[in-house]
Amino acid sequence: MTVDDEWDGGILSELSSHWAERVIFLPECRSTNDEARRLALKGAPHLSVVLTERQTAGRGRRGQAWSSPPGGGLAFTLILRPSEAPALWSRLALAAGLGMAEGLDGFGLSAGVKWPNDVWVAGKKICGILVEADAGFVVVGVGMNINVTEFPEGLAHPATSLALELGEEVSREEVLVSCLRKLEGRLAQIGPGFGDFLKAWSTRCVLTGNDVRLDAGGLLKTGRVEGVSLQGELLLRTTSGLERVLQANEIRLLK
């Protein structure tokens, strides 16, 4: 990586070789997910990372825009070529969320996960994840607020950053390394180790035990979250009984 001092690669070199040698830095791009998909189609290997300083058309789930001022956040996408069956790839969103949350532990934060793939700190969103599958590979996009101190009005959820929570700026390279280290172990658990993974994920779930309203494909549901199934479904207790929700466009906590 040949960029400014913050991204000189000195800390990234502490990663195992298959990470450090596969970080692709782009000063600017439209979307790291789009770039990662393009590279994956050209044969980029498993665990490649596309990292950028600025996205001009970054997006989150459901096509929502994701923006971060230069120097304020992390925007990167991993290229994964899972050995597990495609039926299990939906678990990658949970693995990515937990890896990011655990990666923040070393900075003194207590991060929670919001099904299926957000990371929250102190009731506010600090990280969003977008997982997109293709034939033979998956791209996992991550947007994390690091040194952002102001956010635009009209956000769907209150937002925060490491700088706001800690009262000081943090090295984005250090955060990236910490998160990738944790993520690697969690990605290995989407198969036979998923039971143990789910226990760790559940201890951080910010929805469990709370009443929520969600949009499941245009159908509004209200109920209390009882956890997540071994298949990665949200377990929602409604007036009709226990329902298993595989996908939801929007989930809001009810106070």
Compute the distance between CA of residue 206 and CA of residue 88 in angstroms, rounded to an integer.
23
- How far apart CA 111 and CA 126 sit, in angstroms, is 9
CA atoms within 13 A on the CB side of 213: 5
What is the per-residue pLDDT for 18? 57
Residue 9 has pLDDT above 90, yes or no: no
| CB count in 10 Å sphere of residue 68 | 21
Which one, of 85, 23, 96, lies nearest residue 61 by Cα? 96
Task: Report whether 117 contacts 41 (CB < 8 A).
Answer: no
pLDDT digits (tens, 9 = 90+) for 99-111: 999 999 999 999 9
> Which tens digits make up the pLDDT trace of 16-61?
555 556 788 888 888 999 999 999 999 999 999 999 888 886 665 5
Residue 113 has pLDDT above 90, yes or no: yes
CA distance 139 to 133: 6
The predicted pLDDT at position 153 comes to 74
Q: How confident is the model at residue 2, as a pLDDT? A: 35
Alpha helices of the chain — where are they, by DSSP H? 17-20, 32-41, 91-103, 162-166, 172-187, 194-202
pLDDT tens profile 123-146: 999 999 999 999 999 999 999 999
pLDDT tens for each residue of 50-70: 998 888 866 655 555 555 667
**Are 181 and 99 spatial neighbours (Cβ–Cβ below 8 Å)?**
no
The overall average pLDDT reported for the chain is: 87
User: Residue 179: what pLDDT?
Assistant: 93
Amino acid code (one letter) for 119: V
Higher pLDDT, 216 or 33: 33
- Per-residue pLDDT tens over the stretch 148-160: 998 877 676 789 9
List of residues 6+ apart from 12 with CB closer than 8 A: 1, 19, 20, 23, 173, 176, 177
The CA distance from 96 to 116, in Å, is: 10
pLDDT at 250: 85
Distance separating alpha carbons of residues 97 and 201, to the nearest angstrom: 9
pTM listed for this prediction = 0.88
Identify the structural domains of the chain with CATH numbers, from first to last: 5-202 (3.30.930.10), 211-253 (2.30.30.100)
